[in-house]
Amino acid sequence: MLEVLEVTRRFGDLTALDRVSFTVPAGQFTGFVGGNGAGKTTAMRIIMGVLAPTSGEVRWDGAPITAADRAQFGYLPEERGLYPKQPILSQLVYLGELHGMGAREARQAGERLLARFNLADRAKDKLEKLSLGNQQRVQIAGAVIAGPKALILDEPFSGLDPDAVDEMFGLLTEFTTRGVPVLFSSHQLELVERLCDNIVILRKGEVIAAGSVEELRTSGPTHHRIVTDNDLGWLQTQPGVQVVDLDGPTAQVAFSDTATAQRVLAEALARGPVHSFGPIVRPLSEYYREVVR
């Protein structure tokens, strides 16, 4: 497990991170979201030791993180690690060797990844000759080549089409199933909601929400939707019921407690057939807009 504890980072007068704490649990995907300039890249650089925190610390498996730990992490930096003007396979081999692999082992791993992405015949091409999506796939290959203990990925899915996102997610899942924690930043909330177990939301250098996607989505008042055959105007005079929207036999309401919900359901059934009665699950984007406002 990776832990960021009370990390503050200042650049002159600017506080880019203000006592930021969160965890990236083993074997899970944690999505890191927040508007432009919120501090995501700064936090990832501090995790990787590219930047030092002004105060606070990063811990790995319960102890302060070391250079040796970080050498076994896979990192996709914002500025990308591979060079546009170098052939792709030799760069992957170089990265693998940097992470302690033997030359042969690194070459085999690089060839395997390129074959998996249908890029085997491009192995000697310069990175810049590939389409942007394929460049991104190769950059991700660079982060995973050495079988990392943790993955820190700065916007790994930007520029990928939906099939490529699924393909890269499949690749990353092979690591989470082995217990590797994955932290990735993204501006694509739908994607974060679909792929992540956990989410950390930053705003202006502060963590304003963190938890499982399910917890965040269901936090705050839950609304129920009711669909019947009859007019639901009677709901407006029911104690403990706030009618949010009413359209004849369909209504959206907030109940003060579950006993009220049960009483209203019984009443609705007594008045005729009830076609649907249940909580409305909010999309994560709605929750996000509410908290970052």
User: Which chain residues interact with ligand ATP by CB under 6 A?
Assistant: 11, 14, 16, 34, 36-42
**Which residue number, 79 or 161, has a Cβ lying nearer to ligand ATP?**
79
The DSSP symbol for 236 reads G
88-98 and 103-116 are packed helices; what angle lies between their axes, rounded to 10 degrees?
Answer: 130
* In the complex, least distance from residue 285 CB atom to ligand ATP, rounded to whole angstroms: 16
Q: How many other CB atoms are found less than 10 A from the CB of residue 239? A: 7
**Which residue number, 3 or 154, has a Cβ lying nearer to ligand ATP?**
154
> Which residues have C-beta within 8 Å of that of residue 98, sequence separation ≥ 6?
none
* In the complex, least distance from residue 112 CB atom to ligand ATP, rounded to whole angstroms: 31
Contact assessment for residue 247 and residue 231, using Cβ atoms and an 8 Å cutoff: no
* In the complex, least distance from residue 66 CB atom to ligand ATP, rounded to whole angstroms: 23
CA distances from 106 to 56, 168, 218 (A): 36, 20, 45
**Which residue number, 39 or 181, has a Cβ lying nearer to ligand ATP?**
39
**Which residue number, 14 or 68, has a Cβ lying nearer to ligand ATP?**
14
The DSSP bridge partners found for residue 251 are 226, 246
* In the complex, least distance from residue 191 CB atom to ligand ATP, rounded to whole angstroms: 15
State the DSSP H helix or E strand holding residue 1, giving kind and residue range, or none if neither.
none
* In the complex, least distance from residue 290 CB atom to ligand ATP, rounded to whole angstroms: 19
* In the complex, least distance from residue 17 CB atom to ligand ATP, rounded to whole angstroms: 8
**Which residue number, 40 or 137, has a Cβ lying nearer to ligand ATP?**
40
Strand-pair category, 182-185 with 150-153: parallel
List the structure tokens of 118.
Answer: 């249908």
**Nearest to residue 137, comparing CAs of 70, 72, 76?**
76
* In the complex, least distance from residue 158 CB atom to ligand ATP, rounded to whole angstroms: 10
**Which residue number, 191 or 235, has a Cβ lying nearer to ligand ATP?**
191
CA distances from 171 to 104, 277, 288 (A): 22, 39, 27
**Which residue number, 17 or 145, has a Cβ lying nearer to ligand ATP?**
17
CA distances from 223 to 92, 238, 278, 286, 292 (A): 50, 16, 8, 13, 21
Please report which residue ranges of the chain form alpha helices under DSSP H: 40-48, 67-70, 88-98, 103-116, 132-144, 162-176, 189-195, 213-218, 258-271, 284-292
**Which residue number, 204 or 263, has a Cβ lying nearer to ligand ATP?**
204
* In the complex, least distance from residue 198 CB atom to ligand ATP, rounded to whole angstroms: 18
